[in-house]
Amino acid sequence: MAVGVFDSGLGGLTVLDALKKRLPEVPFVYYGDNAHAPYGVRDAEDIFQLTCAGVERLWAEGCDLVIIACNTASAVALKRMQETWIPPGKRALGVFVPLIEALTERQWGDNSPPREVAIKHVALFATPATVASRAFQRELAYRAIGVDVEAQPCAGVVDAIEQGDEILAEALVQSHVDALKRRMPMPEAAILGCTHYPLMERSFQEALGPKVRVYSQANLVAESLADYLTRRPEMLGSGTRSVNLTTGNPAQVSSRATQFLRKGVKFEAA
């Protein structure tokens, strides 16, 4: 009955934590493609091929349902995967839609026409590839009108997190927030559009100020998955073990994950 969680590296662990707390009875298999992180500076074909390889590895672990807990992969590869690659009986779900539903105060599956929402000025912090895809703006347009989105590509932040350099990550967050504020001085909300970024949520909040509501994805994705499995319990796969897999060096990845999550995390070779 295992569910897979895919990410380019460490970021998806924020989602995995929330999933385990919300669904403690479900075994989760995590796959971090640390050897190829970050995805945010790769081209679309490369991201597609790497994501497909990771999802296939999770299928081999008995995970018929895989959460693509990487915003870059969700933005760049997921739609193509769903339309051309994923076979019947398997599913891959992304992390954008639960976030946008929360921002626009919509219930899951609300397919009514787009409407005015309370928040008008939104800052989006994401990887360069996610920003270039405009996937967030496209999904938002299906649900809301009159929302001004200013997107800031946050080059270097994922690298710093993956390398365990918290001081550099904090400095980069401040620099990217400053750059966005020059274009949008008073955002009402900020979207952390990369699952690595909740590891730096405190830094984002401090740089943005207390009046800006910061949205990150972990708990929203967990609630969305719980709802999905209630409606589609047959998507629980045959796998029975919980394990963290990495394409990188397991000892190094375990050490960095433990440092950023501030609790012991162990990885095995994928």
* pTM, to two decimals: 0.88
Given this model, what pLDDT does residue 164 score? 82
Q: Candidates 3.40.50.1220, 3.40.50.1860, 1.10.10.60, 2.40.160.60; correct CATH number of 3-94+218-269?
A: 3.40.50.1860
Q: Report the phi/psi class of residue 180: left, alpha or beta, with left for phi > 0 and alpha for psi in -120 to 50.
A: alpha
pLDDT digit string (tens) for 105-122?
887 667 789 999 999 999
pLDDT, block means (10 residues), the chain with 270 residues = 94 94 97 94 96 98 96 94 96 90 79 90 95 92 93 94 90 98 97 90 97 91 93 93 97 91 94
Q: How far out from the chain centre does Cα 105 lie?
A: 20
Domain extents for the chain? 3-94+218-269, 97-215
Given this model, what pLDDT does residue 108 score? 62
Phi, psi angles (nearest 5°) of residue 118: -65, -40
- 212 CB contacts (<8 Å, ≥6 apart)? 123, 187, 188, 189, 190, 205
Of the candidates 52, 63, 154, 194, the residue annotated as catalytic is 194
- 232 CB contacts (<8 Å, ≥6 apart)? none
Domains 3-94+218-269 and 97-215 equal at CATH topology level: yes
58, 31 Cβ separation under 8 angstroms:
yes
Given this model, what pLDDT does residue 198 score? 87
Given this model, what pLDDT does residue 21 score? 96
* Residue 154 bears catalytic tag: no
| β-strands 243-246, 28-32 pairing | parallel
What is the domain class of 97-215 according to CATH? alpha beta
Given this model, what pLDDT does residue 61 score? 96
* Residue 52 bears catalytic tag: no
**Which parts of 186-232 are beta strand (E)?**
189-192, 213-215
Q: How far out from the chain centre does Cα 47 lie?
A: 14
CA dihedral 160, 40, 139, 103 (to 10 degrees): 0
